[in-house]
């Protein structure tokens, strides 16, 4: 065995051990963030604490703290994870659709599908906005940045639909985005708080009404029943 070969052996084993430790640490942190996200959908970001999460994740407080360092960093990690999952479920699948109206409709359809599930669990974007709307800081910044990124994607889809001549040339993208977002906010309020029947149908009808008004070729809906047993129907 040469000197050079011998000298490599002590260096290689620690790197491999370090790599395994890093991978295990990343997996543990991902599991903690997953548990934190589930907890935050129930009690809100403000309700998250190192102690509460340690109990849910069945870890020590020091073990959770070692991965985040502060409650604020934990909250920001949850916001980032929520945004990543939102993109995976809502944005990226819609990109497979043709440019213009089909893609815009897919974005809203996917958004509605996720919203329908969150009527039971809660939406981090909406609950977070209530908790941090008047509280400057990194958590609010992370929330606002995530929502703004999503709004920019929706606005771009509206612009492309106009460019493809699927919508009128004088369409105001900001106004359309405002109205579409308003449908989602109204759905959460009506379904989760007021328990109003038929909210999902009304939100979808509202979206079609917006598109029809803007020049999209949307057939008139058939007559619908005005009542439903569930606010989510």
pTM value? 0.81
* Percent residues over pLDDT 90 in the chain: 66
Total count of residues recorded for the chain? 233
Q: What CATH number labels 76-214?
A: 1.10.357.10
How many whole angstroms separate alpha carbon 49 and alpha carbon 36?
Answer: 9
Q: How far is CA 30 from CA 2, 24, 35, 53, in A?
A: 43, 10, 9, 13
Q: How would residue 5 be classed by pLDDT, with cut points 50, 70 and 90?
A: very low
How many whole angstroms separate alpha carbon 53 and alpha carbon 20?
Answer: 25
Inform me whether the pLDDT recorded for 19 exceeds 70. no
Per-residue pLDDT reduced to its tens digit, 137-194: 999 999 999 999 999 999 999 999 999 999 999 999 999 999 999 999 999 999 999 9
CB 183 within 8 A of CB 177: no
Per-residue pLDDT reduced to its tens digit, 102-125: 999 999 999 999 999 999 888 999
């Amino acid at each position: 065995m040469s000197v050079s070969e011998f000298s490599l052996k002590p260096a290689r084993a620690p790197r491999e051990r370090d790599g395994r430790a890093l991978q295990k640490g990343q997996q543990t942190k991902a599991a903690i963030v997953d548990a934190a996200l589930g907890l935050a959908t129930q009690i809100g970001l403000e309700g998250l604490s190192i102690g509460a999460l340690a109990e849910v994740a069945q870890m020590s407080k020091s073990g959770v703290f070692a991965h985040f360092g502060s409650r604020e960093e934990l909250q920001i990690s949850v916001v980032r994870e929520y945004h990543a999952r939102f993109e995976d479920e809502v944005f990226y699948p819609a990109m497979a659709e043709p440019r213009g109206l089909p893609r815009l409709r897919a974005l809203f359809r996917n958004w509605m599908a996720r919203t329908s599930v969150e009527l039971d669990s809660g939406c981090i974007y909406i609950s977070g906005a209530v908790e941090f709307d008047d509280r400057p800081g990194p958590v609010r910044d992370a929330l606002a940045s995530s929502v703004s990124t999503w709004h920019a994607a929706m606005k771009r889809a509206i612009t492309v639909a106009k460019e493809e001549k699927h919508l009128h040339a004088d369409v105001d993208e900001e106004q359309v985005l405002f109205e579409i977002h308003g449908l989602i906010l109204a759905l959460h309020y009506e379904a989760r708080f007021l328990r109003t029947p038929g909210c999902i149908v009304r939100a979808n009808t509202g979206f079609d009404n917006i598109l029809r008004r803007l020049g999209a070729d949307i057939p008139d809906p058939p007559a619908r029943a005005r009542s439903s047993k569930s606010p989510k129907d």
